Amino acid sequence: MGESELHPEVSVVADIVSNERLQSRDGLSAQRMPPLEAASQPGRRADRKRRSLLLISTLSVLLVLALWYFSTERGWVSPVFLPKPGRVLGEGAASLASGQLLIDIWMSTQRVLLGFMLAGAVAIPLGIVMAVWAPAKAAVDPFVSLLRPLPSITWIPLTMLWLGIGEAQKIAIVFMGSWIYILLYTIESTKRVDPLLIRAARNLGARDLHVMLHVILPGALPGIIAGLKVTLAISWSCVLTAEMIAAQNGLGAVIWQGKDWGNLALVLVGMLCISIVVLLADKAAGVLERLMLPWERHTRN
């Protein structure tokens, strides 16, 4: 019901998340079957299938790289439009060696983390309160509706006026772009906590505070964490926008400098770094998620 309230992007992800849950619940009965020789056969087949799919992925990447290499090497594409892979590698190695690239990566990461954590610190408690207490939701909802359609980039003039062009402004941009998504995910997953479990807890003598600590919070946690993972990627795109407009350093600034100096290789280095860093951040979040939700391991596969 509340899914339609979410931003379309987020609601698709929410669908995927809930589908995953449903599937895993169906899978549960299969999991309980004794893992005899009959079970290992399809297991091995799935393994082989996974390996052949991985091979296809690898080949596809190699094919695109080869296409890039030959098209630039043979002069089919002018280096003005696309630099040679070797140039990009060289540029990357040079900026790594000078240490500047690591500083840029660290600056962006720092801004994302600060803005993102600030957004979580505000949105998670607020979302839980809004989910369990209707007056709070009624009070905040109008602002959520008004602020949600605004891309974080639209906050740049105001935040610059208020905060200058220092770190605080970048963090504010990340915050403004992230908190609403975390809020919506938190409200949604708090509302989805099984009311039967709340009933059961009360029947076992739990009072409000205990219901909150032992049922609502852990029940909503998987959904909140899923929301944080999606939002983390959004936070990254916010920081890059902010850095492209006004920053001395950071990956967004790298790309913009590359453009200003006509150094396309540097632009590509910046883009590549963003992809890798966001990918690593997502992996790290996945590890953290598994550590925080030990019970989900059993409902997932």
Helix ranges (H only) for the chain are 8-32, 37-73, 85-98, 100-132, 134-147, 156-163, 167-191, 195-203, 208-211, 217-245, 251-260, 264-292, 296-300
* Closer CB to other proteins, 48 or 210, in the complex: 210
Helix (H, G, I), strand (E, B) or coil at 56: helix
* Closer CB to other proteins, 121 or 200, in the complex: 200
Contacts of residue 296, defined as CB under 8 A and 6 or more positions apart, other chains included, come to: 222, 289, 290
* Closer CB to other proteins, 96 or 132, in the complex: 132
Candidates 16, 22, 28, 139: give the one binding other proteins (CB under 8 A): 28
Candidate ranges 2-10, 112-120, 217-225, 268-276; the one touching other proteins (CB under 8 A): 217-225
* Closer CB to other proteins, 28 or 64, in the complex: 28
Q: Which of residues 103-162 bind other proteins (CB under 8 A)?
A: none
Contacts of residue 299, defined as CB under 8 A and 6 or more positions apart, other chains included, come to: 21, 24, 25, 28
Q: Which of 79, 119, 106 is nearest to 227 (CA)?
A: 119
* Closer CB to other proteins, 283 or 298, in the complex: 298
Question: Does residue 221 bind other proteins (CB under 8 A)?
Answer: yes
What token pair was written down for 171? 């963090």
Question: Does residue 214 bind other proteins (CB under 8 A)?
Answer: yes
AA identity, residue 248 = Q
What minimum distance in Å lies between the beta carbon of 38 and other proteins?
19
> For residue 194, how many other CB atoms are within 10 A of its CB?
10
Q: Which of residues 187-206 bind other proteins (CB under 8 A)?
A: 194, 196-197, 199-206
Q: Which of 234, 235, 260 is nearest to 247 (CA)?
A: 260
* Closer CB to other proteins, 73 or 194, in the complex: 194
Please answer whether residues 17 and 226 qualify as being in contact, where contact means their C-beta atoms are separated by less than 8 angstroms: yes
> For residue 237, how many other CB atoms are within 10 A of its CB?
18
What minimum distance in Å lies between the beta carbon of 210 and other proteins?
6
- Rounded Cα–Cα distance for residues 33 and 286 (Å): 28
- What angle, rounded to 10 degrees, do the helices at 264-292 and 100-132 form? 40
Question: Does residue 210 bind other proteins (CB under 8 A)?
Answer: yes
What token pair was written down for 154? 């639209």
What minimum distance in Å lies between the beta carbon of 296 and other proteins?
8
Question: Does residue 163 bind other proteins (CB under 8 A)?
Answer: no
* Closer CB to other proteins, 105 or 211, in the complex: 211
What minimum distance in Å lies between the beta carbon of 294 and other proteins?
8
Question: Does residue 295 bind other proteins (CB under 8 A)?
Answer: yes
* Closer CB to other proteins, 99 or 205, in the complex: 205
What minimum distance in Å lies between the beta carbon of 224 and other proteins?
13
Candidate ranges 46-54, 151-159, 183-191, 213-221; the one touching other proteins (CB under 8 A): 213-221
Q: Which of 227, 131, 123, 132 is nearest to 187 (CA)?
A: 131
Residue ranges that bind other proteins, judged by CB under 8 A: 28, 32, 194, 196-197, 199-207, 210, 214-215, 218-219, 221, 293-295, 298-299
